[in-house]
Amino acid sequence: MSRFMTIWLPRWPVQRRLREHPEWRNVPVFVSRRERRGVMTVASWAWADAPREAAGGLRAGHALRIPAGTSLAEAMALLALTYGSRACHVSQVVPDDPAADQAVLERVARWCRRFSPAVATATVDDAARSSRAPEADPHASPDCLFLDVTGTAGFFGGESMLVRTTVWTLAARGLHARAAIADTPGAAWAAAHHTHLLANDGVTISPRSAGRRPRRWAVVPAGEQTSLLSGLPLAALRLDAATTTALREVGIDTVGGVLKLSAKSLTSRFPATLGLRRAQLTGTRAEPLACGSGTESLPQMSHAFELPIPTTTFTEGMLAAVLERLLTGCVSPLAARGEGVLALQVRLEPPAGMGMATSTPTVIDVGLFRPSISPRHLLELVQLRLGRLRLPRELDGIVVEVVAAGAAACRQRALFADATDGAGTRDTSADRTAAVDMLLDRLSGRLGRDAVFEPRPVADAQPEHAWIPSAPVDSAARPTTTSHRDRARGSAPAGAPLRLTGRRPIWMPARPVRVEPLQAELIAVTAIDPAAERQPPLRFRLAGQVHRVVQFHGPERIETAWWRGPIVRRDYYVVETETGGRFWLFRRLKDGAWFLHGVFA
């Protein structure tokens, strides 16, 4: 007899974010989704610590129901109606990120291995279905964990203790979960989602907690699922909307109604899913868990050292040795498939016992500019950061995870090194690149990643906006998984070269420098003389020094940037002075003032 536990993490996309931003517990949080036409809808929402009393004296929990798929504008209107418009102003709206939701869920799944070795975020059937038709149900994102707990309950003092421990351990880590144990994953799923509807007789349920919150857990005794779950609504069968509607149409609205149908009516009238779900609930069809298959996507690699150690007895050398071993363990499988590490995370985990308040691990994130397969190089980068951290007093374990990997540059130095190296110590270009990369990694290790950049040209008519700082990443080595941060920052508008023909200098001041034209030398401007509007000053003073112009090009007129502020209107000239200096001057057309905006070599 198998036993399964299903852990449901309600409103998972919001829960995940609340864990990352505990300060959001006080405000409504909306995870929004951009629909095809550009309309924003609510994918999931919650207000963890909502005020008990809503605006009209209504009980808040009952007053406000915002189903997934509601447009964001409407959701805000409803929110304002219930809690007043202030609630809207303070609310957090974040775009959905199913990949990240899934990734974090996988991490929780990994953590849950302490309850059972077989943990999955989906069953094999569902995983196959979602890979076949990922768009089938746009509002369904995984929010459950399935555990095969056959025979493991004994270690925790029985099934009710196991399910209770699971729920409370997760709660201690800031996760709100509901869980149930039953004969099949399907039955456990049904029970976990409907703990509030289960009757006390026969089912072991958590005692009704204070504050009328739903019961947290339930255990359906072996062999009893069909009788005990038949009162649950159709939703307990994990059906798609169309099947549910079809059943309702003929007056069937409980699990029991479906169980009563003959196999013949079932197969001749309803999609195959219904029969499958029924069989999965009753156990006439086994539903294996999709363990292991989903966990590979993120992180790429992970190695953990899991012995509780007081850091006081831990020398730096020992730490380095452990880290190197872990790093090597991570790198070698990657190297074997021609990839190197682009980003990794080292977590020094403090001991976090059951029921204790969570303490956050010490996290070291290391990003590289080019994939590396050298554990030594990686260790050096970790140590650069480690030196500046205060370690926790006690460690529960050390985890190294490769967060992103990229194709490593292929080098065959070893084989033909003699041929080129014969003459002496000649750098190959590959070596030089490697050296530059090393320098970049070290510089950013010291200065911070954002302080090291290269300018990239941007198609923008206004010279000071015509470039942006950009991370010096080789385009060939773009990470295979874009990090969340990169996406948030938005990539620079590349491509589409600017149609300007004018020259651009190599040096530009941070802001244009005021230049004083010397009036006496300026040709008298008359309205009818077309040349007058097309001439720079023949002498000008710059930083106390007088320059005399001998030759000029231009003007190049720029009128732009009206969409981001006042319009910028300038006439640019390239001028050559007596002393051979070549300057880039412009006249501000608004008032005729002159500025220096660059120097040519």
Q: Which residues bind another protein (CB under 8 A)?
A: 38-40, 72-73, 77-78, 81, 246, 249-252, 260-262, 264-265, 268-270, 455, 457-461, 466-467, 493, 496-506, 528, 530-531, 534, 553-560, 562-565, 567, 569, 571-572, 582, 600-601
CA–CA gap between residue 404 and residue 372 (Å, rounded): 11
| SS3 assignment, position 50 | coil
Quote the least distance from Cβ 496 to another protein, whole Å. Answer: 5
CA–CA gap between residue 160 and residue 151 (Å, rounded): 13
| Closer CB to another protein, 425 or 491, in the complex | 491
> 199, 260, 200, 262: which is closest to 232 by C-alpha?
199
Task: Assess contact for 599 and 513: CB atoms under 8 A.
Answer: no
| Closer CB to another protein, 202 or 493, in the complex | 493
CA–CA gap between residue 473 and residue 368 (Å, rounded): 9
Complete DSSP assignment for 296-307: GSSSSEEEEE--
Quote the least distance from Cβ 182 to another protein, whole Å. Answer: 27
In one-letter notation, the amino acid at residue 427 is D
Report the DSSP pairing between strands 29-34 and 92-95: parallel
Quote the least distance from Cβ 449 to another protein, whole Å. Answer: 23
Quote the least distance from Cβ 568 to another protein, whole Å. Answer: 10
End-to-end CA distance of the chain: 83
> 365, 370, 469, 351: which is closest to 411 by C-alpha?
370
| Closer CB to another protein, 291 or 575, in the complex | 575
On the question of a cis peptide bond just before residue 271, with omega within 30 degrees of 0, the verdict is no
- Enumerate residues 6+ apart whose C-beta is below 8 A from 220: 180, 181, 182, 183, 187, 188, 191, 203, 228, 229
| SS3 assignment, position 259 | helix
Quote the least distance from Cβ 559 to another protein, whole Å. Answer: 4
- Enumerate residues 6+ apart whose C-beta is below 8 A from 70: 41, 42, 78
| Closer CB to another protein, 35 or 427, in the complex | 35
Quote the least distance from Cβ 274 to another protein, whole Å. Answer: 11
Which runs of consecutive H residues, i.e. helices, occur in 250-390? 255-260, 263-269, 272-282, 316-336, 375-386
CA–CA gap between residue 382 and residue 504 (Å, rounded): 41
Quote the least distance from Cβ 217 to another protein, whole Å. Answer: 30
Quote the least distance from Cβ 89 to another protein, whole Å. Answer: 11
| Closer CB to another protein, 268 or 429, in the complex | 268
CA–CA gap between residue 238 and residue 228 (Å, rounded): 17
CA–CA gap between residue 238 and residue 126 (Å, rounded): 10
Cα-Cα-Cα-Cα torsion 520, 522, 526, 527, nearest 10 degrees, comes to -140
| Closer CB to another protein, 211 or 565, in the complex | 565
| Closer CB to another protein, 264 or 426, in the complex | 264
Quote the least distance from Cβ 464 to another protein, whole Å. Answer: 12
Quote the least distance from Cβ 548 to another protein, whole Å. Answer: 21
| Residue that has been written with the tokens 């000008």 in this structure | 540
Complete DSSP assignment for 380-442: HHHHHHHTTSPPPSEESEEEEEEEEEEEPPP--HHHHHHHHHTSS-PPPHHHHHHHHHHHHHH
Quote the least distance from Cβ 473 to another protein, whole Å. Answer: 19
- Enumerate residues 6+ apart whose C-beta is below 8 A from 176: 9, 10, 15, 170
Quote the least distance from Cβ 521 to another protein, whole Å. Answer: 21
CA–CA gap between residue 104 and residue 173 (Å, rounded): 13
Quote the least distance from Cβ 462 to another protein, whole Å. Answer: 9
| Closer CB to another protein, 267 or 482, in the complex | 267
CA–CA gap between residue 467 and residue 478 (Å, rounded): 21
Strand partners for 600: 582
